[in-house]
Structure 1
Amino acid sequence: MQIHRLFEIVYILLNKRVITARELAKRFEVSIRTIYRDVEVLTSANIPIYATQGKGGGITLLDNYVLNKSLLSDQEQQEILFALQGFQATEYPEVDIVLSKLSGLFNKKDYNWIEVDFSSWGNHKNRNDQFSTLKDAIIGQKIISFEYYNSFGEKSLRKVEPIKLFFKNSAWYLHAFCLKREEIRTFKISRMVNIKKTIDPFIHKISDDGIEADKEKIQEKKIAICLRFTSDGAYKAFDTFNPDSIIKNADETFTVKTTLPGGPWLVDFILSLGSAVEVMEPANVRDQVINKLKNNLKKYKNIYNMT
């Protein structure tokens, strides 16, 4: 408890600069004498704390004091703060508190130079709870249960041993050992509903090799595709694909050659790019897009009695 209290006293002084022993004693629910003993301990550790008498006096810290640079270099301090700012994108609530404390300890007032936001405009309000539950389950090695919707819209109840969260292509995913399928599976978090941490423990029997094998399976399901973008839709090509896969044609159009996961997702993804894109290859994907467009057109014809 004393070590925790000593750290808190230094943190308070870094932010408030002056505070009375009575205020500290009340905060930590100890005697004023105990606070003065803590000050002596900190002073003996070469932390420049001193007390002043009279009005406006109290316990204070020498101006411009920062953590001992022999522990962390200035560059290392900046890297830690930058990493925490990136982690803010997970919307995990404790990050803001830790970032604030460390910026005070490092005496970095200009750390907030970047903002990372992975969320969509229509982000769900329960995302914080999802990440908190998943983090606790992964670290505490507890089985989780949830309802999962696959790419066909089919719902199933799953129980899994969570292994790792990862972010790819604008979405969060979970690597986990699925007890139903008895193998490692990758779950898209936006399709996971009613995530609950159970009291059932597990011991990881999965190595990184197992996760890599699952990634390779996903890679094997990808297909080669060729898309053509109009000149005024070029921004969509560059917003979506690696520039190395984009070729500018003589007629000012753009060709994209890449690999993408197959299945119903692919057709919907292509249609989301609007009229700026046309599928050149493979022929079966082109036909799937045409059929989807025809079916959509029928819906509107039925609604408006179009001929």
Structure 2
Amino acid sequence: MRASRLLSLLLLLQTRGRMTARELADALEVSVRTVYRDTEALAAAGVPIYADRGPAGGYQLLDGYRTRLTGLTPDEAEALFLAGVPGPAAELGLGTVLATAQLKLEAALPAELRARAARIRERFYLDAPGWFHEEEQNPFLGAVAEAVWEQRPIWVRYRRWGGEVTRTLEPLGLVLKAGVWYLVAQAGGQPRTYRVSRMLELELQDGRFERPEGFDLAEYWRSWSEGFADRLYRDRATVRLSPRGVVLLPYLLGQGVARMALEAAGDPDATGWVQVEIPIESVEHAVPALLQLGADAEVLAPQSLRARMAMTVGALARLYETNT
């Protein structure tokens, strides 16, 4: 266990450069005192590790020192080949680079591990987009990726609900979520999220910008994702559901949201119907969604949604009466 931790500490310093004892402790999930002991052990073993004192100090390796490590476990070798995502890499213009890197890695592995890696390719395949969704067109993805790498601002014309806008953005990172590419970029001094497929025009700007100190793309995305549902579904609707409607609700809202709605619901009435509160984006968005439940759902509130449902159902009834 300790040998593995020492190796992890060494690789952290080799890949990230100078790190404080607290940063190392957090990354390794140990105490600062343990980091002190481990760095002393590495130094005693001949690793050129040293510490700079003071507020800007930390541990680092002697400039130019690199360790060439072997001894991947079978599970580690398999995990490396699972990490390859050829589709998204190709979209970023890195498909050939990824294929070449995997070939080099495979050539460096012992015969037994090469065989295990081959079995991974035979048995696992990642297809990120959801069913019945056309592949999004991202003509500016390459230019966005270039701007992210080079820290160059971009000017974009962007389509959003309600029309088009123009923005000058400082690209901080790209995120692939369920087959959809998102750009995280600074605008007006604040990080914001933009769907790459909605970019209608893009121009790389001159100069470079400074990334905000301490910005963590993964942490930002986690925080942004957690608040996404609250930002999207700002209203609530009160709906009565039949027993069959209860079964169908997860297909409408998703398992997580449906479970929370049903857990907060009261007991079924004498006929088995239950009253629930469900999140909606707007009355306009809710009508076609709730119509999917047919006669297994009755909207009770808000009154504007109930009236719109009644009007739509009435129009449907008249349409079918006319055509029969």
Letter in 2 for 1:73: T
Which of 226, 231, 237 in structure 1 is aligned with 2:250? Answer: 237
Which of 159, 178, 181 in structure 1 is aligned with 2:187? Answer: 178
Q: In the alignment, is the contact (CA less than 8 A) between 2:147 and 2:171 conserved in 1?
A: yes
Deviation of residue 197 (structure 1)? 3.3
Q: In the alignment, is the contact (CA less than 8 A) between 1:147 and 1:192 conserved in 2?
A: yes
2:127 is aligned with 1:117: yes
Q: What CA deviation, in whole Å up to 9, does each residue of 1:213-259 have, x standing for no partner?
A: 76677565344555547727845624723263364968677876565
Which of 120, 137, 156 in structure 2 is aligned with 1:146? Answer: 156
Deviation of residue 292 (structure 1)? 8.6
Q: What CA deviation, in whole Å up to 9, does each residue of 1:2-44 have, x standing for no partner?
A: xxxxxxxxxxxxxxxxxxxxxxxxxxxxxxxxxxxxxxxxxxx
Q: For residue 38 of structure 2, what is the aligned residue in structure 1?
A: none
**In 1, Cα distance between the equivalents of 2:89 and 2:295?**
33
Q: For residue 14 of structure 1, what is the aligned residue in structure 2?
A: none
Q: What CA deviation, in whole Å up to 9, does each residue of 1:31-81 have, x standing for no partner?
A: xxxxxxxxxxxxxxxxxxxxxxxxxxxxxxxxxxxxx98342221111121
Q: For residue 135 of structure 1, what is the aligned residue in structure 2?
A: 145
Corresponding residue SS for 1:111:
helix
Deviation of residue 161 (structure 1)? 0.9
**In 2, Cα distance between the equivalents of 1:190 and 1:292?**
35
Unaligned stretches of 5+ residues in structure 2: 1-67
Determine which structure has the larger strand proportion and give its number.
1
Q: For residue 286 of structure 1, what is the aligned residue in structure 2?
A: 305
Letter in 2 for 1:186: T
Deviation of residue 178 (structure 1)? 1.9
**In 1, Cα distance between the equivalents of 2:165 and 2:76?**
46
**In 2, Cα distance between the equivalents of 1:90 and 1:255?**
47
Letter in 2 for 1:163: L
Letter in 1 for 2:192: R
**In 2, Cα distance between the equivalents of 1:192 and 1:265?**
25
Corresponding residue SS for 2:83:
helix
Which of 274, 286, 294 in structure 2 is aligned with 1:267? Answer: 286
Q: In the alignment, is the contact (CA less than 8 A) between 1:231 and 1:254 conserved in 2?
A: no
Letter in 2 for 1:88: G
Q: What CA deviation, in whole Å up to 9, does each residue of 1:150-179 have, x standing for no partner?
A: 222x01122211123334566443221125
Q: In the alignment, is the contact (CA less than 8 A) between 1:160 and 1:178 conserved in 2?
A: yes
Q: Percent same amino acid among aligned pairs?
A: 13
Q: For residue 88 of structure 1, what is the aligned residue in structure 2?
A: 87
Alignment of structure 1 residues 10-49 onto 2, 5 Å: none
Q: Higher mean Cα deviation, 136-145 or 283-292? A: 283-292
**In 2, Cα distance between the equivalents of 1:284 and 1:103?**
64
CA spacing shift, 1:274–1:238, aligned 2, 3 Å:
closer
Q: What CA deviation, in whole Å up to 9, does each residue of 1:283-305 have, x standing for no partner?
A: 167348538948996xx97xxx9
Q: In the alignment, is the contact (CA less than 8 A) between 1:149 and 1:192 conserved in 2?
A: yes
Letter in 1 for 2:255: F
Which of 196, 206, 225 in structure 2 is aligned with 1:189? Answer: 196
Q: In the alignment, is the contact (CA less than 8 A) between 2:261 and 2:277 conserved in 1?
A: yes
Corresponding residue SS for 1:122:
coil
- TM-score using structure 2 length: 0.51
CA spacing shift, 1:163–1:69, aligned 2, 3 Å:
closer
**In 1, Cα distance between the equivalents of 2:230 and 2:95?**
37
**In 2, Cα distance between the equivalents of 1:77 and 1:104?**
12
Letter in 2 for 1:98: L
Unaligned stretches of 5+ residues in structure 1: 1-67
**In 2, Cα distance between the equivalents of 1:269 and 1:105?**
56
Letter in 2 for 1:283: P
Q: For residue 170 of structure 2, what is the aligned residue in structure 1?
A: 161
Q: What CA deviation, in whole Å up to 9, does each residue of 1:266-298 have, x standing for no partner?
A: 43773685647747475167348538948996x
Q: In the alignment, is the contact (CA less than 8 A) between 1:137 and 1:197 conserved in 2?
A: yes
Q: In the alignment, is the contact (CA less than 8 A) between 1:84 and 1:95 conserved in 2?
A: no
**In 2, Cα distance between the equivalents of 1:173 and 1:199?**
23
